[in-house]
Amino acid sequence: MDGVSTAQPQRHPQQTGHRTAPVAFLKGHGTENDFVIVPDPDNDLDLSPRDVARLCDRRAGIGADGVLHVVRSAAHPEARRHADRAEWFMDYRNADGSVAEMCGNGVRVFARYLQHAGHTGPGELAVATRGGVKKVHIAKGTADDPDGGDITVHMGRALLPEKSVTVTVDGRSWPARNVDMGNPHAVAFVDDLDHAGQLYAAPAYAPAAVYPHGVNVEFVVDRGDRHVAMRVHERGSGETRSCGTGACAVAVAAARRDGADPSVTGLPVTYTVDLPGGRLVITERSDGEIEMTGPAVIVAEGHIGAALLVRSETTDG
C-alpha cells in the first residue's frame, strides 16, 4: 500500500489554471470510432470530466468519441499493480467525461499511438486497462505503409449473466442478451437496423437494476453465414461508428444463438462484424478467449488550445 504524504505536491504547470506548457495531442480512429490521444507518461495532467467533454465536443473542441490518456502504469494509481506486466496504461474516458472500464477500438488506437511514437514496434505488446491487462499483436505493415498492419487485441473472456433484459426504441421492444466484456452490453437481434431509430438518446432497458451504471446497446442483423452487421449506442458517448467490445459481445451472442458456442463444440468460431465505420473480425477460441482484429489509424497531431483546458480557478493551494 502506498504511503500517505501531507506535504504539498509539486505542481506541474499543466495542472494549474495558468497553463504555460503546451499540451500535445493526436487524433486517431479504429473503424471510425475516433479518439483524442493525450500523451502524459508521468501522469502530470489532471484531466477533469469537463476537460474531456470539451476536448470531445465536435463543434467547440477537437471532437471524438472519447479520450485516450496515455500514462505509464507505474505513474498511475489505478495501474501500478500492473506495472510489472504492462508498461503503459490506457486511462480511457467517454465523451461525456465519465470513466470507462475498457474500449476495444481504443486499445487498438492506443497501440498504434505507441508504435507511432516509437515506444513499440510490430509484434507483441501488453496494455493495462481498467478491465485488466490486454495482450495486443501489431502486424507488420507494408513497405508503403509500415505502420498500417492490422492490430489484434486479446479481449479476454465474456461473462454471460443470466438476467434477462428487454431494450426499447420508438415503441419497439426486443429481448437482449446480457454480455459482459469488462463493460456491460445488451445485444438485440432485429429485422432491420433502421428499427433502432436515431439513437440520439440511450435506448430504454428493463429491468433497470440489471445495469445500475448504464449499458452499451447493440442492434444486430444477419448478413450471411457467420457474418452480421450492427449499430451501437455507447453509454456516455451516444451512437458511435464502431465499438470494439460491442462487436465482441455481438459475436458471442450470435455464437450462442447459432449453436456455435465454443465451450460446447470445442471449436473456435469466427464472425465478421460490419459496423458503420468499417469491419472487425472476432474469433472466440475454444478456451473462451476472444480476439478482435481490425485497423487503427493516426490522422493528426498538434497542440491543444489553452482555452480548452484552462480551469476557472487555479489548483494551487
**CATH architecture of the domain with range 13-150+298-309:** Roll (3.10)
**Identical fold, 13-150+298-309 and 165-294:** yes
Every domain of the chain and the residues it spans: 13-150+298-309, 165-294
Peptide bond into 207 cis (omega under 30): yes
Q: Please report, in range form, the residues annotated as the binding site for substrate.
A: 33, 94, 104-105, 183, 216, 234-235, 244-245
pLDDT, average across residues 263-274: 97
% pLDDT > 70, the chain: 91
Q: Mark whether 56 is an active-site residue.
A: no
The model's pTM: 0.86
- What does the pLDDT look like over 124-134, one tens digit per residue? 999 999 989 99
**Cα dist. 178→71, 209, 216, 243 in Å?**
32, 13, 10, 16
Q: Which residue has the higher pLDDT, 167 or 238?
A: 167
* SS3 assignment, position 1: coil
Segments of the chain assigned E as strands = 23-30, 33-39, 66-72, 88-94, 123-129, 132-138, 151-157, 165-169, 172-180, 184-189, 204-206, 216-224, 227-234, 238-240, 269-275, 278-284, 289-294, 297-304
pLDDT, average across residues 176-180: 97
Q: Please report, in range form, the residues annotated as the binding site.
A: 33, 94, 104-105, 183, 216, 234-235, 244-245
Could you tell me which residues are beta bridge partners of residue 245? none
Q: Does the structure show a pLDDT above 90 at 144?
A: no
CATH T-level fold of 165-294: Diaminopimelate Epimerase; Chain A, domain 1 (3.10.310)
- What does the pLDDT look like over 205-218, one tens digit per residue? 999 999 999 999 99
- What does the pLDDT look like over 67-88, one tens digit per residue? 999 999 999 999 999 999 999 9
Among residues 26, 103, 181, 254, which one is catalytic?
103
Report how far residue 46's alpha carbon sits from residue 16's, in angstroms, rounded to the nearest whole number. 9
Among residues 52, 67, 169, 243, which one is catalytic?
243
Q: Mark whether 243 is an active-site residue.
A: yes
Closest CA to 206 of 145, 157, 165: 165
